[in-house]
A and B are shown apart, each in its own frame.
Chain A
Amino acid sequence: MRPTPKSVASRSRKIKEIPTSLSLEKAPSGIAGLDEITGGGLPRGRPTLVCGSAGCGKTLFAMEFLVRGAVEHGEPGVFMSFEETEEELAINVASLGFDVRQMVKRKQLAIDHVRVERNEIEETGAFDLEGLFVRLRLAIESVGAKRVALDTIESLFSSLPNPAILRSELRRLFRWLKDQGMTTVITGEQGVGTFTRQGLEEYISDCVIFLDHRVNDQISTRRLRVVKYRGTTHGSNEYPFLIDETGISVLPITSLRLDHKASSERVPTGIERLDEMLGGGYFKGTTILCSGSAGTGKTSIAAHLVRAACAKGERCLFFAFEESSAQLLRNMGSIGIDLGCYIANGSLDLVASRPYAQGLEMHLLSIHKAVTQREPALVVIDPVSNLVGSGSQLGSNSMLTRLLDFLKNRGITTLFTSLTEGGADTEQTSVGISSLIDTWLVLDVVRGGGERNHTLDIVKSRGMAHSNQTTEYRISDQGVLLLDTYLGPSGVLTGSARLAREAADRAQVALQEEEIARQQALRGIRRNAFDGRLATLQGEFAVEDAELDRDIQERIRQRDGAPAARAAMARSRQAFARAPGAGHGKHNGKHGGKGHRT
């Protein structure tokens, strides 16, 4: 029959729906970090094999899977133990904060301990494991279980005869659990060259998780790897995990993205002059490295930052890997930085531990955990160089990158201190993480004139104008003080050389002032002398001027007086006289005069 257009349409719609309905459903394991690696948890309704060597945390994995499932996801569970009794289990996991007995009472959990004594067993013919099935079914029905853990079912091989029967029965058991829709965790001991001694991985093909407990350089590290996970993508790396008082935590950094937000908000450094050098402080959410040789005050600079942040009411986490909390508080108190009050009001957490207590991965995982719990605005790791020493050099870089990435993505300002080994180039961090750092302060020691003096350089500070000045600083009872800078012929002057230069400068100033005063006095005297001479000259000039004036007046009078006298004379002689002033009158007059005379 040819399909009508309508049926084709409905079919195509169905096809589109298929992927969602077929996609593997996952049951959140509740184990911190694991669900991120597996993209949601363990395959729902299917068995998962958890394998590893003795003491790698298989039983705990299985128990936590059930407990978290029951408590956090409302899925009751059945724990079938082939090794430990109910009592032992309850005691073992009580230290992790699980009250198993209470859960059994509340019907969230059913525990069945399967005990098989090899010396009691006599094989008399063909058998099956229906007894186990019946017990499982009973337990599942008693609590309405959705999850099952079998720990460690392989021990049946050592206590029951006839492995061939056991194999086929286990295959049937796993099939049955699948049919029951049970999300199952089956633990298995690691074999030689196989994941489990009895090759259970052949039967459990949906999901295999391998737990490893390995010792490198006398430091043990637990790692988890999802070997396979059928029908889904998953992180395939080895992830370090931690077993502590809250159970298992896996460090799930699957991708190293570079998409964190950049804030332009400034975080004051807590040192006034350093703020100026950086143009207002560090950027919020950036990474600051403070490196220097021993005793250069790296921790003090960190403490300044912590105090400034705590004073603003921000939450801080201080990881100390060199000093105990008490020692750190005392030492910072001695330079006038009281951090105790911030611990008391809950804004500061000091976490002190020995770097060699555990491997680098474990440290990073604990940092990860503490950060997730406390959600601080500022994290200080003092010093990161010690931390790196506790892990393999190979992995430390990538681990730190992961940590930085994690902190940056959360917008947490981070300050690392790093110890530069004596004699090493100060701009060469043993950590080798300088490229990941946004702001890098290098503390240096200048030796000379029988002194050690401290200088601070800002090697880099991304995204902000910053001072290029090498600055001397002093650690005083008021904390770190940045001092005025004096440049000498061979660079910045420090210590006594700076003091001598300061004194010389003061002397120079005094000398200059004296000279100015002297010059000013001289100038007064000169002006007075000039003024005196000016007065004399003016007097003389006035006298001469008056004389000359008188002379001029006399001559004018004489000149004007002559014609009048002549006219008077002529009049008196009754002779013709022309009025004065005519152009040729004078001439005529002269002529006349001459004529008269002739």
Chain B
Amino acid sequence: MRTTTKTLFSASKTVVSASSHLLRLYVTGTTAGSIRAIQQVRRVCDEHLEGRYDLEVIDIYQLPALAKNDQIIATPTLVKVLPAPLRRLIGDLSNLDSVLFGMDIRERA
């Protein structure tokens, strides 16, 4: 299946109750960085948080007001709202160690 933003978006809208992780990924359309970030966050979530996460992917090109509300500067940014503390993972999430640390899945190596 060809990867499009739309399919990625709909695929990521998996809502699972009693999730331990509340995540918001802010991307900018279908740039290479956005696509990499979306794929990466899905992989990590599937591997480490199966069924325990709530992920929202937001295209700030379409919803610019949200960028202001959530203080987004850099893109892509993955905001880990829960569990506390709030953390912003900046970049395309290609550095897996940083991602796992940032998402409170693993201690820093």
Contact surface of A with B, Cβ cutoff 8 Å: 112, 114-116, 120-132, 134-135, 137-138, 156, 160-161
Q: Which of A115, A127, A132 contacts B90 (CB 8 A)?
A: A127
A131 lies within 8 A of B95 (CB): no
CB distance from B107 to the nearest CB of A (A): 13
B73 lies within 8 A of A125 (CB): no
Q: Jot down 10 A-B pairs with beta carbons below 8 A, ordered by A.
A: A114-B71, A121-B88, A124-B92, A124-B98, A125-B91, A128-B33, A130-B60, A131-B74, A137-B64, A156-B73
Contact surface of B with A, Cβ cutoff 8 Å: 26, 28, 31, 33, 36-37, 60-61, 64-65, 67-68, 71-78, 85-95, 98-99, 101-102
Residue ID in chain A nearest B102 by CB atoms: A122
B68 lies within 8 A of A112 (CB): yes
B85 lies within 8 A of A134 (CB): no
How far is B77's CA from A116's CA once the two chains are assembled, in angstroms?
12
CB distance from A156 to the nearest CB of B (A): 7
Residues of A within 8 A of B33 (CB): 125-128
Residue ID in chain B nearest A113 by CB atoms: B71
How far is B77's CA from A127's CA once the two chains are assembled, in angstroms?
8
A126 lies within 8 A of B91 (CB): yes
A131 lies within 8 A of B91 (CB): no
A160 lies within 8 A of B71 (CB): no
Residue ID in chain A nearest B26 by CB atoms: A131
Residues of A within 8 A of B60 (CB): 130-131, 134
Residues of A within 8 A of B95 (CB): 123-125
Residues of A within 8 A of B102 (CB): 122, 124
Task: Give chain A's interface secondary structure class.
Answer: mixed
How far is B108's CA from A123's CA once the two chains are assembled, in angstroms?
13
- Given that A114-B71, A120-B88, A134-B67 are known contacts, is A127 also in contact with B61, CB under 8 Å in the complex? no
- Given that A124-B98, A126-B92 are known contacts, is A131 also in contact with B87, CB under 8 Å in the complex? no
Residues of B within 8 A of A112 (CB): 68
Residues of A within 8 A of B68 (CB): 112, 135, 138
CB distance from A301 to the nearest CB of B (A): 65
A114 lies within 8 A of B64 (CB): no
Residues of B within 8 A of A115 (CB): 71
Residue ID in chain A nearest B103 by CB atoms: A122
Residues of A within 8 A of B88 (CB): 120-122
Residues of A within 8 A of B89 (CB): 122, 124
Residue ID in chain B nearest A82 by CB atoms: B73
CB distance from B30 to the nearest CB of A (A): 12
CB distance from B96 to the nearest CB of A (A): 8
Residue ID in chain A nearest B60 by CB atoms: A134
B98 lies within 8 A of A123 (CB): yes
How far is B74's CA from A127's CA once the two chains are assembled, in angstroms?
6
- Given that A124-B99, A131-B26, A131-B72 are known contacts, is A138 also in contact with B65, CB under 8 Å in the complex? yes
How far is B29's CA from A233's CA once the two chains are assembled, in angstroms?
44
How far is B90's CA from A292's CA once the two chains are assembled, in angstroms?
73
Residues of B within 8 A of A131 (CB): 26, 28, 60, 67, 72-75, 77
Residues of A within 8 A of B65 (CB): 138
- Given that A128-B75, A131-B73 are known contacts, is A120 also in contact with B85, CB under 8 Å in the complex? yes
A121 lies within 8 A of B90 (CB): yes
How far is B89's CA from A114's CA once the two chains are assembled, in angstroms?
17
CB distance from B55 to the nearest CB of A (A): 15
CB distance from B41 to the nearest CB of A (A): 10
Q: Which residue of B73, B86, B88, B89 has the most chain A CB atoms within 10 A of its CB atom? A: B73
Residue ID in chain A nearest B68 by CB atoms: A135
Residue ID in chain A nearest B64 by CB atoms: A138
B71 lies within 8 A of A124 (CB): no
How far is B71's CA from A115's CA once the two chains are assembled, in angstroms?
6
Residues of B within 8 A of A156 (CB): 73
CB distance from A155 to the nearest CB of B (A): 11
B76 lies within 8 A of A127 (CB): yes
